[in-house]
Amino acid sequence: MSSDTPARSVPCPTCRRPALFAPSNPWRPFCSERCRSADLGAWASERFSLPEHTPTDDDPAPPTH
């Protein structure tokens, strides 16, 4: 990012307030250390998770009942 390019603002993933997305914000994409810690805590307590298996086009169709 050059010095004449305006800094970009993105919604904080935790609180949705505007967060500066630039090297000057050490918590980017979060707006603060508090929001970053809250997000980490959610992952650590497994409130967020990734699916075990993502079906592909090669997977057989699930059985229908």
In the chain, the domains with their CATH numbers are: 8-44 (3.30.50.10)
- pLDDT for res 22: 94
Residue 2: pLDDT band by 50, 70, 90 thresholds? low
Q: In the block, which residue shows the tokens 């993502």?
A: 54
CA distance 7 to 29: 13
- Residue 23's pLDDT is 93
**Of residues 65 and 42, more confidently modeled:** 42
Q: Are strands 8-11 and 18-21 parallel, antiparallel or unpaired?
A: antiparallel
Percent of the chain with pLDDT over 70: 80
pTM for the predicted model, two decimal places: 0.62
